[in-house]
Amino acid sequence: MTAPSQARRELYGSRQVYEPHKASLPPMGPYLREFWRRRRFAYELSRTTQKADNFDSKLGSIWLVLNPLLLATVYFLLIEVISQSSSGLAGFLHIVIGLFTWYFVAGCISLGATSVTSGGKLILNQSFPRALLPLSSVISAFLRYLPTIPVYLVMYSIGLLIVPASNTGSKALMRPSWAMLWHPALMVILSITGFGLAMIFATMTVYFRDTNKFLAYMLRMWLYLSPVLFTVDALKAKMDHVSIFGVHLGNILIYANPLGPALGIMGDVWVKGVAPAPVLVGAAIAWALVLLFGGAWIFISRERDFAVRL
Amino acid sequence: MLSDSEFAVRLEHLTIRYRTTYESNPTLKGAMLKFGRGRGEKRRKVRVVEAVKDVSFGVPHGTVLGIVGSNGAGKSTLMRAVAGILPPSEGRITVDGRVSTLLALGVGFNGFLSGRENIMLGCLAAGLEMDEIALKYEQITEFAELGDFIDMPMRTYSSGMYGRLAFAVSVNMDPDILLIDEALSAGDARFKEKSFNKMKELCAQARTIFIVSHALGTIQELCTDAIWMNQGELIKRGSPEEITESYLRFLKVGPSAIAMEDV
């Protein structure tokens, strides 16, 4: 081995100055450069962590598909029994895609919340842009989400074969449409939103360890308040008679909810089979950007404090 | 006086404070209890620990700096600050070069992952590219001599194997500045000698190295410069012989065989 060459020095940006700070952003240029250079770390961390998590499980990664499927069945039964409106197989399939997508975002949030507190050893011993940890949570959530796509496509194809035969009026709801090609764009929006939320909840957990305990209940309520088990229209119809300060409660529930517009897009695309309403797309993108920049600010301005608090 | 660019590491009036509370973790219950206790009652006690107090020194490139001091002297805190892990509370740290750390708590290893995966993660976190890591991987495994264990989960490792891998990763990262905290005690006698030789090799390459060790013999043999810290303060700086002698006199044990050996 030779002494580090000048070129190498330059490559690794040789000079760092550490000074006291009070919740302020570090120089963002170098931060983002280092962040981007180590993106592979975020990926490998989530890949290997997932592998480590399945270490003790017999069924291993099959649980990634089994989990949302079982949940979908539970919710389907719940809705069928409580609402007594039979939406049949089509209704079931809508709930399934809704829950698969919801669990991607919920995964971003719940994995993100503990990403910093569980990365204690790494944080105490290595200096790197900490935002890579919540990013790794988003990647983990996405890796978990991936196997549900083929599962859903198979279910949907089977549904298409069966539903036209049953004459329950749900035939209109099972209509493959080009609008479904919006789904990848929706996933991009949800990933950005999820990254923002992961950073916010990661920071909250560092200062407030109980966040993680509340999170399970919070996510459950969030799910019920989001257009996942219901479409935007159904939610609005349900809240028809209520308004606060002249604003329709249904609208508040959808647009004040960071995930409302994005999950509303999903309903438009998968349930109605139409291109999403522009106002939903606009609101979804706006929420994604607000949460990304807001979350980044909250996280990055405090991340140098994390090592002291672990 | 050296100019700014000739220092590898420069500390100016560095102070690092930890705020510790008597509650082990900040929780909502604690916050509510604190809230409930009100003003007049005894509130949650916050103790500010000054781990490093107003320390200033510059280290020119190529220096092998030994840091000695009793437990709780602030040695590890100082190392973490130089590595950019702990932010200064006051003062300023300027570091010229890439830092590799080998700190007392291990290198962020996940026990469920194999040694191979942990090496990869460590290297990626340090900012290496995949093709660089492939090269490093050979050097690291060869140095650590773990055999088949390299592909086994790290929770099956003995503490000696763990330390060997940590040391191998750290010294093979080609750092400009290497920070080593109590690492030479890793492994058996043979590996100890090997790592000692590796350290000598690195020291001879005009790299900047910080060594925290209670093995004063190591400090005397490897270092070109030394500091002695006590309770967060820089007591003295000087040649390794001078510093270890003062430190031992302070400990009132004299240069006995026990303190000179790696315990």
Q: What is the ipTM of this complex?
A: 0.75
Mean of pLDDT over chain A: 81
B176–A9 C-beta distance less than 8 A: yes
pTM: 0.82
Q: Residue A53's closest CA among A42, A69, A38, A64?
A: A64
Nearest-CA distance from B95 to chain A in Å?
5
In a mutagenesis test of the A interface, which of B121, B143, B152, B208 is the best target, namely the one with the most A β-carbons within 10 Å?
Answer: B121
Q: Does B103 touch chain A (CB under 8 A)?
A: yes
Confidence at residue B217, expressed as pLDDT on a 0 to 100 scale: 85
pLDDT averages per 10-residue partition of chain B, 263 residues: 71 84 59 56 65 90 89 86 86 83 57 83 82 86 86 84 81 79 71 83 82 85 90 90 89 60 50
Q: Does B230 touch chain A (CB under 8 A)?
A: no
A3–B94 C-beta distance less than 8 A: no
Quote the tokens at residue A195.
Answer: 């990254």
Confidence at residue A1, expressed as pLDDT on a 0 to 100 scale: 35
Confidence at residue B131, expressed as pLDDT on a 0 to 100 scale: 87
Interface A-B, measured as beta-carbon pairs within 8 A, has a size of 141
Query: Residue A201 carries which side chain, given as an amino acid letter?
Result: F
A3–B205 C-beta distance less than 8 A: yes
Q: Over 90: is that where the pLDDT of A200 sits? A: yes
pLDDT tier for residue A8 given thresholds of 50, 70 and 90 = very low
Query: What is d(CA B4, CA B95) in angstroms, rounded to the nearest whole number?
Result: 10
In a mutagenesis test of the B interface, which of A45, A125, A306 is the best target, namely the one with the most B β-carbons within 10 Å?
Answer: A125
Query: What is d(CA B166, CA B159) in angstroms, rounded to the nearest whole number?
Result: 10
User: Do A276 and A264 meet the contact criterion of CB atoms below 8 Å apart?
Assistant: yes
In order of A106, A176, A236, A239, A284, the CA distances from A233 in angstroms are 23, 20, 5, 10, 17
**Which alpha helices (H) appear in B61-209, and where do they start and end?**
75-82, 115-125, 130-144, 159-171, 189-204
B122–A208 C-beta distance less than 8 A: no
Instruction: Read off the pLDDT of residues B142-200 as tens digits, 9 standing for 90 and up.
Output: 888 888 888 888 888 887 888 888 888 877 777 778 888 776 566 678 888 888 888 88
Q: Over 80: is that where the pLDDT of A176 sits? A: no
Count Cβ neighbours within 10 Å for each residue of B93-127 and write b for 16 or more, e otherwise. Answer: bbbbbbbbbbbbebbbbbebbbbbbbbbbbbbbbb
Query: What is d(CA B156, CA B139) in angstroms, rounded to the nearest whole number?
Result: 22
List the 13-32 stretch of A: residues with Cβ below 8 A of B. 14-21
